[in-house]
Each structure stands twice: as C-alpha cells, then as structure tokens.
A and B are shown apart, each in its own frame.
Chain A
Amino acid sequence: MTLRTRLRRWAVWRRLHLTPFGHVLLVGALAAAMLGVDTTRTTAYQVFSLLAALLLVAGLALRRLRVAAEVQRQLPTFATQGQPFSYVLTFSRLTMPTTGLQLFEQFRHDAAPTDLVEAHWTSDRQASVTWSPIRRGIWRSDQIYLCRTDPLGIFRTLSALPCPGRLIVLPAPLVIDPPRLPGQRRYQPGGISQSSSIGDSTEFIGLRDYRPGDPLHRIDWKGFARTGHPVVREYQDEYFTRYALVLDTDLPPRDTLRLDRAVAAAIALATQIDLQETLLDLMIVGTQTIHLTAGRGQLQLPDLLEILASAEARPGGLQALHTTLDTLLPQLTAVVLVLVCWNEDRQALVDTLRQQGVVVEVYVAEPLRTAGPAWLHNIP
C-alpha cells in the first residue's frame, strides 16, 4: 500500500471518527504544542494541556454503539458531476431512537478519493442525503454508518449497516450540434419503425421462382395456380444503418480534464443518434479496444452512458483501433471520432478511413494551436 493510499484511508477514518469540532480541537492542540514547547516563555502549554485532556477524556467517554436496523436506499441510477442531488434512506426495525444518532454515506470510486456524505433525519424512519459528486464514473457504497458522539461532541463511535448501492455519475452535459451522418431521415416526419428484427420487411418487391429452401409460407399460391410451377413472393431486405462512435482515451492518466470533455462530447453525440433506427458501435481506444454494439435488441443508451461515464485515460492503443476498425469497416456507414488531441497519427487515421469511403466526423477536445482542417469540430 502506498503512502498516498494510507494517508487517504487515514483521512477517511479521521473524518468518520472525529467531528469537525474535534478536528478544530486536534489542530488547536498541535498548534499549542508547537507554540508552548518552551514552558518558560509562553503559557500556550496550558492550552495544550487543556485541549489534550479534552481529547483524552472525550475518547475515554466514548461507548460502543450497538444498533441494528434494515435500511433501503432510493438511489437514482444517474447523477451529474458537480450537481447536487438528493435521495432518501428508509429505515425499518431501528433498535434505538434517532436522537443523537448521525448517519454517514461513504462513496468509493476507483480513481477518486472516497467521499463521506452526512445524511440528515427527516423523520424517525427516513433520512435524506444530498450529495454533489466531484468525479464522473461509477461510485459505490457498501454500507451506511450510524454514529453517535461522546458527550463533548468530539469523537464518534460507528456501527455499519450493510446496504450496497451504485451510482453512475455523468460528466456535466455539453451542447453539441448533431453530426450530419448519411442514412438518416431528414426533413421528413419521423416515426418508430415497427420492425423488431433485422431481415426482410413487409415491403413486397416481386415474385420469383421457388428455390429449394424457401419457406412454404412465402409460396404465392395464386401465382402457382396461374403458372403451374411454384413461385414465391419476394420482400425488400432491410438492414440498420451502422455507425461507429470512437472515444479516444490515449492520454496520460492525470490529464483528466481533457478526457472529461471528450467523454461529455461522446455522451452528447451518443444521445443524439437514434438507436431505434441504427446500430451504434462504441469503441473506446485503449491497449485493448473496448468494442460494444448498441441498438435495437442490443445494448441500450443507459448501458452506453455507463460505459462512457467510467472511461479512464489509457496511454497507447491507437494502433489497436486501426485493426478493430478494419474488420468492421465494410459494414459501417459513418464513423464519429471523439479525439483528445489532434496530431499526425490521428490525421493519418482519419485519412485512412476516408480513403476507404467511410464518412468521418471528427470532434477534438482541445483547442487547436494552429488552424486545423475546416471539417474538424472543436468541442466547446
């Protein structure tokens, strides 16, 4: 365990076990100890002695908290980074009155410091939590802490109630003009296609001679009667338009701000592509490209949002993307690239795609130092 991790854990432990007032006393005691180190020059050592005694006696006066309850957390599925939201905790079979009981939620994130959130009782059974997550991604909470302080209100004693929960935090929303992709209806009234599978539609295009293997219900009996040999009705083949949304994460791990903008842009683009009409291949560039397909009968928008929200920076991997795209390219109508920066490698990638006849829309998450190509979109 690194020192940084240890310090973080200790900070969480401290925040759970020491009240803000306790923190003030602790810092005061340390300051008084430093100032009063020479007892003949100042009387700060007397203040130190008092504060140390307060901390010690409060620690000794702490009794173990024995409490049991069942708790339900009504956590929303999604939240937005930096935006406060509230939810409710409902308790049943609580074995002690709520007076003097405090509640804490501890949210963990793989790539961010653990966050401690205090809940406030709204009634004997319910408490409300208001939290503003500081980082996008998946936050988890395994338990709810019930706490009680010592009589002086300096230390807390805890009891954990198991209550697993999970929250997807999306980056702050971005407004992006929808990409102009081929294969989409424009200027006509829209509507949801009734088809629920890929294959033949009900659009009749003609008759042809029966070939062994044709389903019997396709045989046009009237035609059979007229011609004397079996003919079958033939219908229009239908396929979904297929787009690829590529999120570039080839960044140093600490450069979170640019990646956040790229993720926000990718989310904005994904929400603007109609998954009822099209298939969307989401690719996240990394040492191994993550490739998922969304559309009707496939992954849905919430799944895409979750995957995008938890994207992390992974240096390298632009080459792996080339191979993944190469295998898919014949089926793709257009590719939407969300890039974290603009350089020669990325220019080459776009050129290769264009040469193969695919429509490419490019969004870049950093302001370009020199004027780039006119078709490059800057993410605001």
Chain B
Amino acid sequence: MMPQPTSGSRAAVAPAGLLGAAALFWGWQTGHLPLAVLFAVALELPALIRWRLDIRPLDLERLTDYTLIAGVIVAVVLASDKDLAGGALVFFAWLPAILLPLPLAQRYGGLPGLDRAALSWAVRRRRRRGLLPPAGLRDIDVTYPHLGLWLLAAGTVNPQGPLFFLASAGLLAWACWPMRRPGAGLAWLLTIACAIGLGHWGHHWLFRTQNLVENWASDLISHQVFDPYFTRTAIGALGELKTSSRIQLRVYPAPGEQPPALLRRASYNRYSAQGWRATERVYRLAPQFSPEVLWFTGPSHGHWLTIEAPLRRNQTLLLLPNGALELRGKTVEKLELADDRSMMVLASGERVTYQVRYDETFGNTDLPQVDDLVVPNAERAVLQNVLSQWPDIPATQLPATLTAWFRQHFRYSTHLTSGSGTPLSAFLTQTRRGHCEYFATATVLLLRSAGVPARYSSGYALSEYSPLEGAYIARSRHSHAWAQAWLDGRWVDVDTTPPGWWDEEAENAGWQKLADWSAWLWRRWGNWQPDQRLGLAAAGLAVLALLGIIVWSIMRARHRSTAAPRRSGSVSLADSALAQALAGLGLQRGAGEPLVDWRRRLGQVWPAERVDHIIELTLQDDRQRYDPAGGTVDQHALRQLLQQLGSSPPHRH
C-alpha cells in the first residue's frame, strides 16, 4: 500500500516495513542476520495483526527505565572488558537492539508515539510538581530515531565500499517519502536525487580531508607518552594507514658495529578488542648502583649503544634492545623497572640520552605468566586450523616455520581491506595481507595456541642510517610490533613481518596514538577487574532478569486491562453484575429512590444483616465505578453474594 503523504508536521511515524528492513540491513552488516530477522519480524508484525497491548503511561515509564538500566549494565560490562573507544563502538553496534523495547512498545501498543514522561525524567518531575498537565503533551515518535540507530549501528562495523552508502541512501529515501509535501512528487524526486548525489560526494571528501588533517596533526602530536599498560593496534581498521616521517630516535652504535634490528619499548600479554594490554605489570623503582650506573644485571660483556629519544612531560618508556644488561644516563632522575624489563624514566629537558650495554644471547628471563598463554575464544578455531598444517612440530622450530610461512603466503600492506569474521581471522584466511601489528598478533596467538608462551612487543625497527645525523634514525613510521617467545628459558624476538616493509610503511600516523594517550587514565581503571568472567556472567544475568521484568510488566498490563475496568476514560453506564442481579429480582434501587426507602423495601424480603451487606456492597460498587477518587469492591464477598442471590430467591417474612 502506498503511504499517504502527511502534512510533514504530524508525528513522523516510520512506514510499515522500513524498520524491519533497517534491522535486516544491520544484521547483514554486523553478521547477526538470524537475530536481525527475529528483530525485523517483531518490529513489523503489528502491521499484520490486530492484537494490541494495553500499555499505560506508567508501564511506559517503567519500560524506559528498565531499558535504560539494561543499557547501563551493558555499557559498564563493555567498559570493563574493552578499551573506551572499542567498547563504545561495540555498545553502539548493539544499541538499537538494547533500545528495541521502545519501538516495540509503540507499535504493539498502537501508539502514535511514546509519552514524554516515559522518555524524560524532567517531564515526570514537572508533572509531579503540577507544572505540566498530566496529559496533552505531544507524544514522541521513536520509530524514526530507531531507524537512525540501526543505520549508525550498522556503520560501526566499518563496512567500506559502496554498498553501505547505497543501502543507507535507499533506506533514508524510503523514510523521506511519506514525509514529502503533498503534491510534490517530482520535486521530491529531484531534491532527494540531489541530496544523495551531494551526500556521495561529501562522504568521499570527508574521508580524504580527515586523512590530510591527521597527517598534519600527527606531526604536531607525535611526542606522546606511551602507555605501558595498553597499546591499541590498527587491526580491523580499514583504508590507508597514516604516516609521519618525524625522526623519533637517534641511535649511535660503537664504531664499526651494527645496531640491533629491533628496539623494544614494552611487551603486552592480553589481546582483546583489537588492542594489547599488559596485566599485572608493576613499575618498581630500580635501585641505583652508582651515580653513573642506573641499572645492571648479569655478565659484564656486550655491545654498547647510545640512544637519544624524545621525552614527553619529562618521562618516557626507554627503547631497549633484547638482552639489555646495563643502563647509564646522566640526565635520568628516576628509573622504574617492570618484570618484562621495560623501563620508565623521568628526566629533565626535551630529550633523554642513555647508554645501554646488551647481549642478544642473554634475553630477558622473567618467568612467563598465565596471561602469556591466553588465546581469545573468538580466534581459537582459526588458529588451530592454521597450526594443523604442522601437526608434530617441536616448539623450538615453530618461530622459524611461522616466519617462513608468513613470508611465503602473506604480503605486507598498509592498505587494509575487510573480510568476514574477526579481523584477525580475515587476515589469516582471506585477505592474507596486513601490517606488522597483524603479523605480530597472529604470531603471538599462534605460538600460544601451540603451547609456547608469547608476548606482543612494540618498539622501533632500525633500518635507516642518516649520514647527516651520523646516526641510525627511526622515524614515526618505523614503529614496529613483533612477538617474543619463551624458548629455552628466555624470551626471544620473533619478527614474522615480511622484510622490506619499511619501503611500503610510508603512511603510518599518530591519530590512533592520540586516542591511546587520551585514554591513559581510563585504561588504568579498566585494568582493574576482580574477575572478568564472573562480572560478565553477573551482568548477563542482570540483563536477562531485566528483560524478564519488562515482559512481565507488559503482560501484567495486558492482564489488568482485561481483568479490571479502566479508571480513566468513559465509565460504562451498563449496570454492574450486582445491580443486574437485584434488577432480576425486582429489587434494584429505583432512580431517585432514597436509601431509607430502598432499605425498607429490601427489609421486607431479607433479614436486616443481609440488607446491610447488600447496601454496603452496592455502595462500594458505585464508588468503584463512578467516584473519581476511586474505591475497591470486596470481590470475594461480591461473588458470594451473587451466588446466594442466584441460589436462594427472596421470600417475604
């Protein structure tokens, strides 16, 4: 049926089919199609059936409150489980599903919109205070806002390509059609075509502009503090990675020596929401041995290296080669050391210069933790599938095998594309291209799946020698990630990223790290989780309980509508059961008959106590039916009386 155009100012209610289509679109994009079909059917069923729920304003208020509480619970669970940005995206992806009770209430209640008081506590308060009338405010339609939510939620999974835009444009045009000005068919068509054309050009422009701005901004903000507890990867991001060529490090090896290929900043051991987190990491003040020597361990041989690195707010995480044995630095005021031998220094000035002695054969020997073996459930199957290629390989050979496999079958790329499933599984099975964070993450998780404790390390790759500077330099875009595996009682670097990557790594930038920096405090809080599984289970139960309460309160509302007469609205003028029963006996109270006369008349056929009982129940009944202040009838007594009146006819006495 063609929807009739409205004047454009009446309550804008989404036409039948639109919300269902939007839900299906969401399901298609997010990979939850079966669930989306369920949602779509629930949303569109009221257009096909006549059955409606009797939903009162108070029920609506409860419903929105419960929905809000459910939303808050989901948000808290996500916040404790994931980082701020990742958690917010997942929350938004599920927001239309969380808020689904609202459009369902509107559609199943046959309402033009939801009462303002249901959606706003301010309105409820003003109503309670008598500042607003109890009714008469225009209802708020939630179907169109819900359509917007489905679209935005579908966008959170980042479906690049023309399909998302085309589908969004189609759904929006569908939404606009019933709202058009009456008689403006052709003008509407032209206008909407112009708008979609402009929107198409606009979104390309936005994308390009942001890349330009980020490149510019990353040069401004590349002196960030690095978060030793968390690093977000660009895994799952799409499009071209950003770049910055600012020089970050200057490394001076001893004359005639080559510097190590990798300088590690910190290691991380827990992978979730495309980010790596360090759990149970504590930085302890390192005991200082002499004014010059900040820290040393193990043997006294090795190679010396001088490194100059930028400081931010007078501190930084030092970049160190694997197997560091001694550290010296004149300007360092304080050195803090963690178990993974990452070092945080406090120093004055813009930059810090330090000397480090290292021997790569003496890798870090801090014992692996339980978290160094954890593999996320979502990735487990695909990792096992990959490992099944080498069924009986010894652990010591696995790094070399993996490196060879990655180099043979994978390609380094900073242009990221999407596939189905998790970003990592898409990388391993479909796209087979990615940047160092993909390779490092995949290697760590593959090693762990094979029973080898492994960590994710981030830092810089040294590849460029600057004759002008007389030093090896590392630019922002040379930041690198690799794996560390626990082999033969020490941590060994395992870098599986195909070589020559820095030639292509021309576009890595710091927009992402700005987010890392701003989320520092948040993540420290997020690091604190007493028991994640218990928390998740409790939250899940709470959400289920809330859903139960929502359904129960709606069903109760429906039951009440059939069980009890409505207080508001028109009063039925038909006689009540008691009045009818008395009329059947010719003993009803006549119009205008004084109570005294009626009592006398009843007294002729019944004993006085029964007469009093009948009069009392009649008055109660009248009060319930007609008194604006309300009243209740003793239903049990009424039923008994009706039975007695039916079974024992009156007799004169």
Contacts and interface: CB of A to CB of B under 8 A. Distances in A.
Contact of A50 (B144, B156, B172, B179): B172
Given A19-B179, A61-B191, A134 B133 contact: yes
B9 A20 contact: yes
A310 B568 CA distance: 31
Given A54-B195, A57-B198, A100-B184, A20 B172 contact: no
Contact of A36 (B144, B155, B159): B155
Contacts of B85: 41
B158 interface: yes
Nearest to B126: A134
B511 A54 contact: no
Interface string A13-44: 00000011100100110011001101111111
Contacts of B202: 49-50, 52-53
Contacts of B238: 40
Say what secondary structure dominates the interface of chain B: helix
A51 interface: yes
Given A20-B11, A21-B12, A257 B155 contact: no
A302 interface: no
B409 interface: no
Interface stretch (B36-44, B161-169, B362-370, B517-525): B161-169
B242 to A, nearest CB: 8
Interface centre among B92, B136, B141, B211 (most CB of A within 10 A): B136
Contacts of A148: 181
Interface string B222-250: 00000000000000011100000000000
Interface residues of A, number: 53
A309 to B, nearest CB: 16
A154 to B, nearest CB: 8
A35 B8 contact: no
Contact of A35 (B145, B156, B157, B168): B156
Given A54-B172, A54-B199, A102-B8, A44 B191 contact: no
A2 interface: no
A45 B145 contact: no
B136 A132 contact: yes
A44 B156 contact: yes
A116 to B, nearest CB: 10
A82 B133 contact: yes
Interface string B184-216: 100110111011111110110011001100000
B131 A257 contact: yes
Contacts, number: 182
Nearest to B194: A57
A47 B192 CA distance: 14
A31 B152 contact: yes
A147 B9 CA distance: 10
Interface string A136-163: 0000000000011111111010000000
Given A57-B195, A100-B183, A152-B179, A21 B168 contact: no
B89 interface: yes
B134 interface: yes
A19 B182 contact: no
B198 A46 contact: no
Contacts of B207: 39, 45
A202 B188 CA distance: 81
Interface in B505-519: 511
Interface string A207-244: 00000000000000000000000000000000000000
Interface centre among B155, B172, B207 (most CB of A within 10 A): B155
Contacts of B9: 19-20, 102, 118, 147, 149, 156
A37 to B, nearest CB: 8
A84 interface: yes
B617 to A, nearest CB: 27
A149 B179 CA distance: 10
A84 B138 CA distance: 12
A152 B191 CA distance: 7
B237 A47 contact: no
Nearest to B141: A20
A40 B19 CA distance: 27
A24 B195 contact: no
B156 A21 contact: no
A80 to B, nearest CB: 10
A58 interface: yes
B181 A151 contact: yes
A150 to B, nearest CB: 7
Contact of B152 (A47, A81, A82, A257): A47
A41 B237 contact: yes
Interface centre among B8, B141, B172, B187 (most CB of A within 10 A): B8
Contacts of B158: 40-43
Given A39-B207, A46-B164, A19 B12 contact: yes
Given A38-B511, A100-B7, A151 B180 contact: yes
Interface in A114-134: 118, 132, 134
B445 interface: no
A256 interface: yes
Interface centre among B148, B182, B210 (most CB of A within 10 A): B148
A100 B156 contact: no
Contacts of B12: 19-21, 24
A118 B529 CA distance: 54
A260 B145 contact: no
A99 interface: yes
A10 B141 CA distance: 22
B12 to A, nearest CB: 4
B206 A53 contact: no
B151 interface: yes
Contact of B183 (A31, A51, A99): A99
B181 A100 contact: yes
A202 to B, nearest CB: 42
Nearest to A45: B206
B587 to A, nearest CB: 34
B160 interface: yes
A126 B7 CA distance: 17
A82 B127 CA distance: 11
Contacts of A51: 172, 199
A56 interface: yes
A40 B237 contact: yes
B176 interface: yes
A153 B195 CA distance: 13
B132 interface: yes
Interface in B135-155: 136, 141, 144-145, 148, 151-152, 155
Nearest to B6: A153
Interface in A56-112: 56-58, 61, 81-84, 99-100, 102
Given A100-B183, A149-B9, 14 more contacts: A19-B9, A39-B207, A40-B238, A44-B155, A45-B207, A46-B165, A46-B168, A47-B151, A47-B168, A50-B169, A82-B134, A100-B7, A100-B181, A152-B192
Interface of A: 19-21, 24, 27-28, 31-32, 35-36, 38-54, 56-58, 61, 81-84, 99-100, 102, 118, 132, 134, 147-154, 156, 256-257, 260
13 contacts: A24-B145, A38-B210, A39-B210, A42-B155, A42-B156, A43-B164, A44-B152, A49-B200, A54-B195, A54-B199, A57-B191, A82-B133, A152-B176
Closest 3 CB pairs of A and B: A82-B133, A153-B8, A53-B199
